[in-house]
Structure 1
Amino acid sequence: MNVTKNVKFQKEVDVDKGPYKPDDGYRRHSKSLAKNAIAAAIKSMEEAENPIKYIDWITQGEFTEERGRKQMEEFISNWEYQGRWSHYTEFLKREDVIHSFHYIYCVHWNIPTAWRPIARTTASVYFTIKINTNKPPDTPIDVSYVFESHSFVHSFVGCLRNFQLDLKPLDTASASFGVSPCLDGSLEKGIYFSQEGGHVILANSVLLGPEFKLVFSIRPRSLTGTLIHIGSQPGEHLCVYMEAGKVTASVGSEAGGILTSVTPKQSLCDGQWHSVTVTIKQHILHLKLDADYSSTAGQHPVPTARTQEHLHIGGVPANLKTLKLPAWKSFFGCLKNIQVNHIPVPVTEAAEVRGTVSLNGCPDH
């Protein structure tokens, strides 16, 4: 496996300024070359803050987009950085190059500051996995990566409305990152997802396995939307979503999938909080809504606990919308009190907030 780190080597002396005579310049130029080589080596060692460490890299025949993402996660787990940093690995795109395919990933780091309007520090690393179509399947994958500059951003704190440019209202933003909606009145505990759409990502926070329990509460303002999605690939996941007022829990594994649903008699958009409980035990999937509705399905394999998975709240990234589920619309409303296996999930440690989402609370009406 070839791993290449992009490091700048700065040439301090130009050793090719013209012809020179061996009798009077050979020693001088040899000394300059040696000095430059030593300086470059020292500089590269100083800049290589995260030295390459061995992991069990997969071959080209074993490669998939998701296995590549997990290799990135395993690789960066050997790096040394402060624990208060959170990271999230994302597959960006595939580029078709002559005799090869380039799979590009990005690892985003940031220091979560959702509860405090202070400056945010971010950093990114871009990985490229090259698959050479002229080489046999047992050839190790070729990996390179490059660091993006750190940034220290002082964000605007407050509400901004009716923004115009040249006396013309601007269109709704096509994308937003970490933008909280302007909320009037008093707030209560919870996450608020606006009508514009958005979701929260908690990286590597859940171990999805054959014995599993998920509990949370919702107060929806729309009857269709993704509530919770656990997993980073279509093959193995747990998804809880609403479709026209019906609440469904779906579990997928490499061997297949199962789902179960409940349909309440009264609309869930009644301004009240409703509890949702999803339990997996002995290959049985059980869904409970409040104390009145429940449903069970089973007799199919469920995911085997292997790695920590991402927990997506209120929606999912575009690269996960390959599952054949009927509802991929973002959740509109409030969600709170998430527990996994009886342990509260701290949303303030969110690795990433996309779209218009408030972690600071929900309107109390």
Structure 2
Amino acid sequence: MYIGGVISKHRKQFNLTVPSFSGCIRNFEVNDIQQNLFEKSRHVVPCVNSNSAYVHEGGYMTFGSLKTIRHFGNIQISVQFRPAVKDGFIFGLMTNKDPENARIAVYLKNSLVTFELIYNNERRELKHIFKKDLCDGSWHNVTLSISHSNMIVITVDGHRKRLQTKISSELVEFFRNLPIYVGGVTASSTSKIGVLSLIGCYRDLQFYGKVMAFKDAKKLNKVLPDGCPFLN
């Protein structure tokens, strides 16, 4: 008996096209006896009722552009995360078409938070690395703010860094029109920018100080929108 999905061998053998179930299953019983679904399982994590999300390998969430939330203004994105790996994409602004030419990305590289802005049309390439190891099993917060004066400010766990550069208002508006990716990007974009999904838990995602529900993302791929296995 299989619950929630089947192994790839049987999927091919019986030509099964229905995808695996993505969600929570509780109180599963056979002949009135409750079963332990974790006894023999694969890619299964415990469910927790909270405004948190768990990103699996290759997972990502997409939201509409910042301009759909606020018609004019700056860029402000914040999220708390608890990584299970040392490398991976936290959040950013880009299209799936040509992320190698235009993107804002915040990601972990060797457990260090890295900010990157690429815009090849203007030959703009900015990069900053925070010298603090974050793969310590704790929750962390990252906030990106590009203000009305077009100054770039990144805050990691309360430590604020203002980059010694400015970008044009036109470029700010360009990025405000791009989709928002959280936790990872598509497989196509991964191959172009070389950053994998950041496997782990996410909570308190905010755009302009407004808390966003993960379940309201435009697309969830290999993400449990309400099922972080290690919240504490």
TM-score (norm 2): 0.69
What corresponds to 1:182 in structure 2?
44
Confirm or deny: 8 A CA contact 2:60 2:185 kept in the other structure. yes
Query: Cα distance, 1:212 vs. partner?
Result: 1.5
Larger Rg: 1
**In 2, are the aligned partners of 1:245 and 1:263 still within 8 Å (CA)?**
no
Q: Which of 258, 263, 288 is equivalent to 2:126?
A: 258
1:192 is displaced (CA, Å) by 0.3
8 Å contact from structure 2 (residues 88, 107) kept in 1: yes
**CA shift at 1:177, angstroms?**
8.2
Q: Which residue of 2 aligns with 1:315?
A: 184
Distance change (3 Å), C-alpha of 1:238 and 1:186: same
Identity of aligned residues (%): 19
| Partners of 1:293 and 1:252 in 2: CA distance | 22
> Take 1:360 and 1:243, find their aligned partners in 2: how far apart are those partners?
26
Distance 2:211 2:109 in 1: 26
Letter in 2 for 1:244: N
Which is bigger in relative contact order (C-alpha 8 A, separation at least 6)?
2
Is 1:206 matched up with 2:72? Answer: no
- Corresponding residue to 2:92 among 229, 232, 239: 229
Q: Which runs of 5+ in 1 are unaligned?
A: 1-156, 171-175
Compared with structure 1, are the counterparts of its residues 301 and 260 closer, same or farther at alpha carbon in structure 2 (3 Å cutoff)?
farther
Match of 1:352 among 216, 219, 227: 219
Report whether the alignment pairs 1:337 with 2:204.
yes
- The total of aligned residue pairs comes to 194
Where do 1:1-365 residues align within 5 Å?
A: 159-160=4-5, 163=7, 165=9, 179=22, 181-184=43-46, 186=48, 188-194=50-56, 196-202=57-63, 204-207=64-67, 211-232=74-95, 233-234=98-99, 235-253=101-119, 254-255=121-122, 256-264=124-132, 267-281=133-147, 282-292=149-159, 294=161, 296-301=163-168, 303-305=171-173, 308-321=177-190, 325=193, 327-354=194-221, 356-363=222-229, 364=231
CA RMSD of aligned residues (A): 3.3
Partner Cα distance (1:178, 1:251) in 2 = 37
**1:187–1:269 distance in 2 versus 1, CA, 3 Å:** farther
Q: Distance between the aligned counterparts of 2:173 and 2:151, measured in 1?
A: 16
State the 1:343 CA deviation. 2.0
Q: Where does the alignment leave 5 or more consecutive residues of structure 2 unmatched?
A: 14-18, 24-42
CA contact under 8 A between 1:278 and 1:287: conserved in structure 2?
yes
Aligned residue for 1:320, secondary structure, equals: helix
What are the Cα deviations for residues 92-134 of structure 1, in whole angstroms up to 9, with x where unaligned?
xxxxxxxxxxxxxxxxxxxxxxxxxxxxxxxxxxxxxxxxxxx
Given that 1:258 and 1:297 are in contact with CA atoms closer than 8 Å, whether structure 2 keeps it comes out as no
What is the rounded CA distance, in whole Å, between the counterparts of 2:20 and 2:8 in structure 1?
A: 21
Please state whether the residue corresponding to 1:304 is helix, strand or coil.
helix
TM-score, normalised relative to structure 1: 0.46
In structure 2, relative to structure 1, the CA distance for the partners of 1:222 and 1:165 (3 Å cut) is closer
